[in-house]
Amino acid sequence: MRTQVVIIGGGPAGLLLGQLLQRQGIDTVLLERHSREYVLARIRAGVLEAGLVDLLHQAGVGERMQRNGLRHEEIYLAHSNRGFRIDFRQLCDSAVMVYGQTELTLDLYQARDAMNATMLHQVDQVEIHGADTDKPRVSFIHDGREQNFECDFIAGCDGFHGVSRNSVPADQRTLFERVYPLGWLGVLSRTPPVSDELIYASHARGFALCSMRSPGLSRYYIQVALEDSVQQWPDEAFWRELKRRIPHDAAESIVSGDSIEKSIAPLRSFVAEPMRWGRLFLCGDAAHIVPPTGAKGLNLAASDVYYLWRALSQYYEDGDEQDIDNYSAMALSRVWKAERFSWSMTNLLHRFPEQSQFDLRMQQAQLDYLESSRAAQTALAENYLGLPY
């Protein structure tokens, strides 16, 4: 069997790339390891940069997001029972959109169904062959049978634990990594959000975040030890701890309820360079990971997709390979800036096991500076809103 582009991974990166390419008449086959239900049950990102919002409109999948998404023009940074706003509209005349990754993924699945584009779920043993030749091929097992697709290009959109990155020979890539000694315990609950805006709270007991998915659905996180398990955190313990870490007025008005999802995510910064090997391109979490503090992971996947979409369309339009050759450098330039922002937000707002009194004073000084300086707030806002593609 043959197609133009094989996309490995049916998360947001793979689905969005497929959608953009198919609409231009470029044929794609999408291979996903899990079932659709499994992918749609994974609760992850919630904050979309304006660049991603625009890209979803360009891809023809922005309608439901436009209707149901929540435009956010500020965030609240809390510390020691007080805090201040970063006003995106005043500082940068822009905003982010709160719209769940699961909703966005559902929109993309439905759009792919409507185009009748090939999408195989529960594929196993995906292997990449000849990515450094003119005849790349992907083999896999589906419905108990081995199958093969020959193609022009392979897009590795299979997340951090996928096969694509590891198909690049070890001597052809460099990996950069920081593993943080902490995790985020996240809870989704069918309760009204405690506040209209997101609250990022720095506290002596650890970081906390109040977020949301819709007016009736809240998403909260607290920093926990990396070794902690979900079983150690029954709902009452979670709510008690969250309330201790956020400003008193928020703690008093918060509506708690049963968790409908609860999970712990480790915090990591990671980049694989380059993001291309021959005819294989890495996109999204397959190439890089950020700690979630800056809300950048999904948004970075989107900018990679944008660069790759443009490069492949150019190639199929007039055979021009210039953007293909530039893909890795262009994507990485944006990736490293988002890595820096996510790392700095993480360092600013969390408590670390080995922190000295000096380190704590540095955090405090940074927060004080942010509160008092429009220039510092503008820098934060510019990065949170997303650097241009």
- Positions touching ligand FAD (CB under 6 A) are 8-14, 31-34, 39, 44-47, 101, 123, 126, 157-159, 161-163, 184, 186, 265, 284-285, 292, 295-299, 301
Q: Fill in the amino acid letter for 91.
A: L
Told to judge if 72 belongs to the known catalytic residues of this protein, a careful annotator would answer yes
For the window 291-330, what string marks contact with ligand PHB as x by the rule CB under 6 A?
-xx-x-----------------------------------
Q: Is 136 within 8 Å of 153 (Cβ atoms)?
A: yes
Q: Is 52 within 8 Å of 62 (Cβ atoms)?
A: no
Told to judge if 200 belongs to the known catalytic residues of this protein, a careful annotator would answer yes
Total Cβ atoms within 10 A of residue 69: 21
Which does residue 77 touch among ligand FAD, ligand PHB, none (CB within 5 to 8 A, set by kind)?
Answer: none
Residues 205-224 that bind ligand PHB (CB under 6 A): 209, 211, 219
Set 76, 180, 200, 221: catalytic member = 200
Measured between alpha carbons, how far is 365 from 11 in angstroms, rounded to an integer?
39
Spatial neighbors of 180 by CB under 8 A, at least 6 apart, are 266, 267, 268, 269, 291, 346, 350, 352
Measured between alpha carbons, how far is 108 from 19 in angstroms, rounded to an integer?
7
Nearer to ligand FAD, 48 or 324 (CB): 48
Told to judge if 384 belongs to the known catalytic residues of this protein, a careful annotator would answer yes
DSSP H helices, the chain, are 12-23, 36-41, 50-58, 63-68, 88-92, 101-115, 164-167, 235-245, 248-253, 297-318, 322-349, 357-372, 374-385
Measured between alpha carbons, how far is 115 from 292 in angstroms, rounded to an integer?
33
Nearer to ligand PHB, 101 or 167 (CB): 101
Q: Which of 47, 65, 117, 349 binds ligand PHB (CB under 6 A)?
A: 47
Least Å distance between CB 162 and ligand FAD? 4
Least Å distance between CB 256 and ligand PHB? 17
Told to judge if 57 belongs to the known catalytic residues of this protein, a careful annotator would answer no
For the window 254-273, what string marks contact with ligand PHB as x by the rule CB under 6 A?
--------------------
Residues marked as catalytic:
72, 200, 292, 296, 384
